Amino acid sequence: MQTINVVVLAAGKGTRMFSSLPKVLHKLAGRPLLQHVLDTAAQLTDTTTQIVIGHGADLVRQVVADQKVNCVVQEQQLGTAHAVHQALPHLEQHAIALVLYGDVPLVQVSTLDKLLKAAGQNSIAVLTCNVANPTGLGRIVRNENDEILAIVEHKDATASQKAIKEINTGMMAIPVHRLRQWLPRIKSNNTQGEYYLTDIVELALADGCQVHTSVCDDEQEVAGINNRLQLAELERHFQQREARKLLLGGVTLRDPSRFDLRGTLTAGQDVEIDINVILSGTVSLGSNVIIGANCELKNCQIGNGTVINANSIIEDAVIGNHCSIGPFARIRPGTELADEARVGNFVEIKKSKIGKNSKVNHLSYIGDSELGVGVNIGAGTITCNYDGVNKFKTVLGDNVFIGSNTALVAPVTVASGATVAAGSVITKDVAEKQLAIARGRQSNFDGWVRPQKLPKKPD
């Protein structure tokens, strides 16, 4: 098995993005373009990775700081061959250098495996693609035997060469010991005045080294991003690809063109997802889960048979089986819902455990709380968990009933079977099966007259 030294070129500024952010850090499906490439490279076996950075080098370093990669700086952007040359001291003599690009995010592992199999210690492999519109891209020039002769950049191509539809994707697999021989021989005598890595093809042929090509059938897979229009186009291509996988795997998407996956999703049988749903991070859906329109789920686990109604947001939470959430509910980090719990419209829950068959159905805020089994929370109830400095906990036992418009001032415990009357402000613990009433006495006054507005004086 050959050792692979991955070299990711990521030094460009991305002028056409009109952004202070380096191009490779712009996001597609919630991840930086560069991260897509690194994630794909990490799936190859026996690899090391070098990232050639330049513009925004410090920002790129921050993004990859916790990953097993090495960054090398290209101080001046003098072309692709010059960029690879910066990584050369870090490459192993008997390895195969796999050259990738930080702004080509959708290349697949299967495509790279095929490319690597075409390369050896005395042969290089070039990834090509037949495209409908090759304008601006390097052309693959072949002889009458269909053997590659050269790669000609668009600006240096003749009229007949510009008619060629097969283009160079830029991705190559090259033996490192040969790379050390060829890179110093590349010249910058071209229209751009740059050192092109593609010139290696002619040098290899001149030295009797075989040059193979591997063809990718999907031009979107090898498309680079230079502006925000291309970024948006590839975003849709990615989402359609992911939607297709889900549909073929048995997930119902009401409209695949209005679905966004920005992480990973695992789903059981008979899952239904309505329009404009965004899934981020790691999301797990059990069987028979229904997600309504306009919902956002991030890093959460949803149990079997749970229904998430429209316009709800769930983040960093664990939801049990056969729960009902929303519409317009917000489940914040640290929340756990036991089986058959119900969270209704305009309810926010943060860092709380909601027991089995408990209900928080309307216009309530539950934070830093623990609810037992069969608890009923009336409309307009809030837990007052924060004093401006510290957070405090509210504990409600099994079968507690909280009347509407109640404020529970933490730290406070309402024991099992207790009832709190509507409109109460609870500041002390309530024992089992007690009724707690904490509200001012009502007074009614006869003959009271509302203030009246005086008539406006004429101008």
Distance of CA 199 to the CA centre of its chain: 36
| Cβ proximity of 224 and 129 under 8 Å | no
What is d(CA 195, CA 81) in angstroms, rounded to the nearest whole number? 5
Q: Which of 315, 225, 213 is nearest to 36 (CA)?
A: 225
Write down the residue that tokens 């090759």 correspond to: 134
| Cβ proximity of 17 and 227 under 8 Å | yes
User: Is 55 part of the annotated catalytic residue set?
Assistant: no
What is d(CA 101, CA 65) in angstroms, rounded to the nearest whole number? 19
User: How many C-beta neighbours within 10 Å does residue 19 have?
Assistant: 14
Q: Which two tokens stand for residue 351?
A: 């860092």
Going from the C-alpha of 158 to that of each of 100, 170, 197, 202, the distances in angstroms are 27, 20, 20, 17
Q: Which residues contact 115 (CB under 8 A, 6 or more apart)?
A: 98, 125, 127, 171, 172, 173, 214
Catalytic annotation, residues: 362
